[in-house]
Amino acid sequence: MKITQCIAGLDGFGVADLASLSALQPQLILVFGSLAAMDGLDMPALQRAVPKAQWIGCSTAGEISARGVADNTLVATALHFDTPAFRVVSEPLANMADSLGVGQRLAARLTSPDLQHVLVLGQGAHINGSALVDGLVGGLAKHVTVTGGLAGDGGQFTGARVLGPNGVSKTDVVALGFDGPGWSVSHASFGGWQRFGPVRRVTRAQGNVLYELDGERALDIYKRYLGEYAAQLPASGLLFPWSVLGEDQSAVGLTRTILGVDTHEGSLVLAGDVHEGGHLQLMQASVDALVEAAQTAAENALGEADPSSPALALLVSCVGRKLVMGARVDEEVEAVGHALGAHTTLTGFYSNGEISPHMHTMDCKLHNQTMTITLLRELPGPGRA
């Protein structure tokens, strides 16, 4: 596997950038950029410059590259494989109620005896990420792992873009399937947030819409805790996500971020499902705790792998983490890079939701407020050591 990376501004990739990408003769190019940058992509020109490559990616709330974290840029990471055993498919998302269905349709198009891993990218505003994951995972064989994330839009939660076979789209969900034994794919996801305040019982909810906690309108309760931050909803909700608790009121490893509010209904629109009768508790975090969690995720993704072999690390970190860390946001990416080593190329984005199995399991879920890492290596052939 060979990798090269180009970083451009809002004016897009220049002649020298395209020449660098083309020289690698890549079969796959990942592109992450701000909403404006993605809307400005000249896809016909890019495809003419590198005609044999599949292009996938999405808009962001911040771009991650080997240089760190940036805004209002385009990051293209080109990959050349010795054996390019992968497939790219996309399906349109009709509306939020179609989230389960779009996952099922993607699974139906990808499923095969050779499928090993799926990377999925969906738009991050008008989608139920939990239902998307349920639909996708439910249609795949048990051994297939799934990672990815929901596109960002600079923390506005009004729209996002996904890049796939149909170009830049407001509605498509794109999935990349890796086939055969030639891949080593590992993953990890870690948060670093701490719970505070009373535990609340979900007394009314439907899918990813939370209506009542302890019999009271969820928005009213939430505003009381936010205080001066309440006027900045829904963006300020990224600073105070909900921890999903089990029946014994212990954390189950799931966090739910707020994507929107309905002042008439008094409800909160969350990035993933919550269930009536369940329990939630507010969370907050310090910068040091988030950086430490990012390093932990990297160490778990690396595991016992050889850090001296070329690898790609796709980092999907929540926009809420970026807001909390502010000017120190580069520290979590630096911690990941240090843990993975100099032979690993970093790319990725700040998201509206992260998709990954729980640590050390195959149980894939939608996460919020985590650093999620997918570590990809092409194994040597023909023995695939």
- Select, from the ranges 87-101, 148-162, 231-245, the one with the highest average predicted confidence (pLDDT): 87-101
Average pLDDT along the chain:
93
Tell whether 383 is covered by a domain.
Answer: no
Tell whether 264 is covered by a domain.
Answer: yes
**pLDDT confidence of 382, banded at 50, 70, 90?**
low
Tell whether 176 is covered by a domain.
Answer: yes
**pLDDT confidence of 247, banded at 50, 70, 90?**
confident
**344 and 234 share a domain?**
no
Residue ending a domain, among 249, 284, 319, is 284
- Separation between Cα atoms, residue 57 and residue 77, nearest integer Å: 10
How many CB atoms lie under 10 A from the CB of residue 323? 17
pTM of the predicted model as reported, rounded to 2 decimal places: 0.89
Point out the least confidently predicted range of 152-161, 209-218, 330-339, 345-354: 152-161
Per-residue model confidence (pLDDT) at position 384: 47
Tell whether 63 is covered by a domain.
Answer: yes
Per-residue model confidence (pLDDT) at position 385: 46
**154 and 226 share a domain?**
no
**261 and 332 share a domain?**
no
Q: In the beta sheet, which residues pair with residue 158?
A: none
**124 and 207 share a domain?**
no
**25 and 158 share a domain?**
yes
What mean pLDDT is predicted for residues 114-137? 94
**198 and 327 share a domain?**
no
The total of structural domains in the chain comes to: 2
Q: Are 58 and 161 in contact (CB under 8 A)?
A: yes
**121 and 143 share a domain?**
yes
Tell whether 117 is covered by a domain.
Answer: yes
Domain that holds residue 235: 194-284
**172 and 226 share a domain?**
no
**180 and 204 share a domain?**
no
Residue ending a domain, among 284, 309, 332, is 284
pLDDT of 35 above 50: yes
Tell whether 119 is covered by a domain.
Answer: yes
DSSP character string of 209-263:
EEEEETTEEHHHHHHHHHGGGGGGTTGGGGGS-EEEE-TTS-EEEEEE-EEEEET
Nearest-5° Cα angle at 134, 133 to 136: 65
- Residues above pLDDT 90, as percent of the chain: 80
DSSP character string of 120-163:
EEE-SSS--HHHHHHHHHHTS-TT-EEEEEEPP-TT--S---EE
**11 and 119 share a domain?**
yes
Tell whether 385 is covered by a domain.
Answer: no
pLDDT of 254 above 90: no
Tell whether 384 is covered by a domain.
Answer: no
Q: What is the pLDDT of residues 271-290, one digit of tens each?
A: 889 999 999 999 988 999 99
**227 and 168 share a domain?**
no
**268 and 304 share a domain?**
no
Residue ending a domain, among 284, 302, 324, is 284
